[in-house]
Chains A and B, each alone.
Chain A
Amino acid sequence: MAFISSGYNPDKPMEDRITDIGPRKYDEFYPPVIAKNKGKWLYHEILEPGVLVHVAESGDEVYTVRTGGCRLMTTTHIREICEIAEKHCDGHLRFTTRNNIEFMTDSKDKAYALKKDLEGRKFDAGSFKFPVGGTGAGITNIIHTQGWIHCHTPATDASGPVKAAMDVLFDDFQSMRLPAQVRVSLACCLNMCGAVHCSDIAILGYHRKPPLLDHEYLDKMCEIPLAIAACPTAAIKPAKVEFNGKTVNSVAVKNERCMFCGNCYTMCPSMPLTDTEGDGIVLMVGGKVSNRISAPKFSKVAVAFIPNEAPRWPQTTATIKNIVEAYSADANKYERIGEWAERIGWERFFEKCELEFTHHLIDDFRDPAYFTWRQTTQFKF
């Protein structure tokens, strides 16, 4: 494994340096039918789950076949995507915001040949490489974060729970039987790189134990004032601690004030929170980002804690499935989960989803909490 230089000279980093050139320009990658009809599309139709047609003013059509993708993807897999794109779409493809892959072609026949090809491709162990679906009133791909594969603050894994959940929800990825679309998202800690806070169903990793304190190293590895300032509830204060007969500068944490956000750990590696029993999953429901009919909404906590049950998180996936089924059976056409819960009332939501309502679900975090309590005599028995 000999080092091979790119041409970069570490002694003269500024020599021939190219910076600030930004990304490649989008339109060099447009399929011709897109380039020609951009801004002039008339309407679209979902021909079947995962297959769309868009029709332009010119009469041109573009057929799109949408397939699920793992956002964690190897170059071997990407090369296979390239091969498919070249075989069916003159090398063109795109990814969606929700980690789906879209192959576009200009005729229906080509689209169905493409779909057939995609459906026939499987990994050796049996899972689909390119399941077609993710359109309309169903469940599309789960957006998610890194988890245990590559992050230092997660309270759960990401790719694993997503795989387990999508296996359980797979039928709804390939059908459109629900009252409206259901957007499922996962963030492996409350930093929410995945911004799951406005999803129909949000799977959120959460810690439940305050930080461990590595007194021996804390002052050497961290700026103590920054760690103190990082705490949103002012639970951390400076402390002199006896360690191996020496007095060292460190911090003390008022544990009952800790909200387990991990912000201190972000500033100070000597304050880890992660714990096998402490960490697990919060399920949130009823959020949306679309302005359709009702305003965008935040997701609300429906289940305060489910333990991490690697490798397949059975309680988490079963609870999600239950919520989807209760929603599917009871909601009106077009109602998102949050709109349904608001119409029937949250007391009824918990009943219909057979979820226990515990004190953890009553907001006690600062001013906004008050606005979530009930200030009316209107409620349901």
Chain B
Amino acid sequence: MAKHETPLLDQLESGPWPSFVSDLKQEAEKRAKNEKGVEFQIPEDVVEDLLGVLELSYKHGRTHWKHGGIVGVFGYGGGVIGRYCDQPEKFPGVAHFHTMRVNQPAGKFYKAEYLRELCDLWDFRGSGITNMHGSTGDIIFIGTTTPQLEEIFYEMTHNMNQDLGGSGSNLRTPSDCIGQARCEYACYDTQAICHTFTNEYQDELHRPAFPYKFKFKFDGCPNCCVASIARADMSFVGTWRDDIRIDQKAVKAYVGGELAPNAGAHAGRDWGSFDIQKEVVDLCPTECMRYEGDKLEINTKECTRCMHCINVMPRALRIGNDRGLSILVGAKAPILDGAQMGSLLVPFIKAEEPYDEIKEIIESIWDWWMEEGKNRERLGELLKRQGFQKLLEMTGLEPDPRMVQEPRSNPYIFWKEDEVEGGWERDIDEFRKHHQR
């Protein structure tokens, strides 16, 4: 018999989509039975109390969680988020219910034995409730008490070779797409760079020294499956500079209906037979393609690598061979000054170990932001406040028309003195010799 009645939550057990309520209930039952004889280090009925407090929120239409307190593990300023219930007498099991962020492996590949180790630890020292995964990418452990934090950290680092992720005003846990591991569109090894930078910048990740949060995300191609362009302060998007590789025989096979277009992605409706002119050539945003005499031609110089033609005919068209990535900066969600998309800073850079050139750019941006950024000001907001020119100055990068959508439409240029012949120091008496008052 459940500890708390949950008539509202119970209504979320029906319907086809996996019910988190059913899952929580099976967890509550597992803890109550405790067939494995786990010596639970936090209350056994923690899941019951979580269901209870959630039911109360469903009744009230309001959350019952308080502000985080300052909790963490020694020497780190992130990775743990304090959480307390505002009805601790009713739900003592979740009175103290802190979150821990566990740094996920790049690409989110796992083996069962490792996941089980995590489960064993979390059943023993925590609630048994997780997020797989949090929005930034970490494995999230939801709910434990303060005395368990160091114990969990100790076991993770000593027995599992596993560290915490980032939270607060520091580098947040970087994340990436599946990349070259299983995607033919990936223009660089997203996992390699994500893992390398996560390790390179451990200090920035664990010890808050920034004005606010800072995110890296790695997308292997312009399809942007990890949405780096919308949510990373520095987004790394794979691209290439040479020709899209064309297999004319396969193009013909698509035209002839032997190959399913879009890798079968539109198979659920009869869209009629594949029309390469209408579906590929006419939809090309730069009109750089033509299909004539059974031959597809792409004028590479005019192509902006939007991926459409490749997505439609993956067996005929492949990304080029001269690959690298574009760096965009300043993306963020709306709070506070409105959402920002990443702005293109580096049109093309090679992504090869040890990534020194990329690191130089990262570090020059951090130097600027740490010097000039206000408390809780994201990079994108600083960029708006001080201007793109300032960013070029701080990174030492040369201006390039690729960086803008269009040139400015006002002439209010902040000329610098050294850009103007003769400088700004002038003699008024000399001027007056030729111009009476």
Cβ distance A113 to chain B, nearest Cβ, rounded Å = 18
Given A76-B26, A127-B19: A49 touches B62 (CB 8 Å cut-off): no
The residue that B108 contacts in the complex, of A49, A96, A149, with Cβ under 8 A, is A96
**Residues of B within 8 A of A (CB-CB), count:** 150
Cβ distance B121 to chain A, nearest Cβ, rounded Å = 9
Interfacial residues of chain A within 82-136, with CB under 8 A of chain B in the complex: 82-83, 85-86, 91-97, 99, 101, 104, 123-131, 135-136
Q: Are A94 and B74 in contact (CB under 8 A)?
A: no
Known: A293-B283, A310-B61. 8 other contacts (CB 8 A): A21-B162, A91-B113, A127-B19, A128-B16, A163-B12, A232-B336, A261-B335, A310-B59
CB of B415 within 8 Å of the partner chain: no
Contacts of B119 in A (CB 8 A): 75, 78-79, 82
Q: Are B308 and A334 in contact (CB under 8 A)?
A: yes
Minimal Cβ-Cβ distance residue in B for A291:
B222
Minimal Cβ-Cβ distance residue in B for A166:
B17
The residue that B11 contacts in the complex, of A1, A2, A194, A311, with Cβ under 8 A, is A311
Given A23-B198, A25-B195, A72-B20: A46 touches B230 (CB 8 Å cut-off): no
Q: Are A6 and B268 in contact (CB under 8 A)?
A: no
Q: Are B104 and A23 in contact (CB under 8 A)?
A: yes
Contacts of A190 in B (CB 8 A): 333-335
Cβ distance B86 to chain A, nearest Cβ, rounded Å = 9
CB of B23 within 8 Å of the partner chain: yes
25 contacts between A and B (CB under 8 A): A1-B39, A7-B154, A19-B163, A19-B206, A20-B202, A26-B195, A74-B130, A76-B30, A79-B116, A82-B112, A82-B115, A97-B137, A99-B133, A127-B14, A146-B131, A154-B63, A160-B12, A177-B269, A192-B335, A195-B135, A198-B229, A291-B229, A292-B223, A296-B224, A311-B9
Contacts of B49 in A (CB 8 A): none
- Specify the main secondary structure of chain A where it touches its partner: loop
Cβ distance B227 to chain A, nearest Cβ, rounded Å = 4
Q: Are A131 and B18 in contact (CB under 8 A)?
A: yes
CB of A45 within 8 Å of the partner chain: yes
- Segment with Cβ contacts to A, from B176-184, B292-300, B418-426: B176-184
Q: Are A77 and B23 in contact (CB under 8 A)?
A: yes
> How far, in angstroms, from A29 to B123 measured CA to CA in the complex?
23
Q: Are A198 and B151 in contact (CB under 8 A)?
A: no
Q: Are A42 and B16 in contact (CB under 8 A)?
A: no
Given A43-B263, A150-B97: A292 touches B132 (CB 8 Å cut-off): no
Q: Are B105 and A25 in contact (CB under 8 A)?
A: yes
Contacts of A148 in B (CB 8 A): 54, 57-58, 62-65
Q: Are A21 and B161 in contact (CB under 8 A)?
A: yes
Q: Which of B130, B132, B228, B262 counts the most A-chain CB atoms under 10 A from its CB? A: B132
Cβ distance B274 to chain A, nearest Cβ, rounded Å = 10
Interfacial residues of chain B within 231-271, with CB under 8 A of chain A in the complex: 231, 237, 260, 262-269, 271
> How far, in angstroms, from A190 to B68 measured CA to CA in the complex?
18
CB of A54 within 8 Å of the partner chain: yes
Top 5 A-B pairs ranked by shortest CB distance? A136-B265, A167-B15, A192-B333, A125-B13, A176-B268
Cβ distance B94 to chain A, nearest Cβ, rounded Å = 9
Contacts of A250 in B (CB 8 A): none
Q: Are B334 and A29 in contact (CB under 8 A)?
A: no
Q: Are A19 and B76 in contact (CB under 8 A)?
A: yes
CB of B339 within 8 Å of the partner chain: yes
Given A19-B76, A38-B181: A13 touches B150 (CB 8 Å cut-off): yes
Contacts of A279 in B (CB 8 A): 61-62
Q: Are A71 and B62 in contact (CB under 8 A)?
A: no
> How far, in angstroms, from A78 to B30 measured CA to CA in the complex?
13
Cβ distance B262 to chain A, nearest Cβ, rounded Å = 7
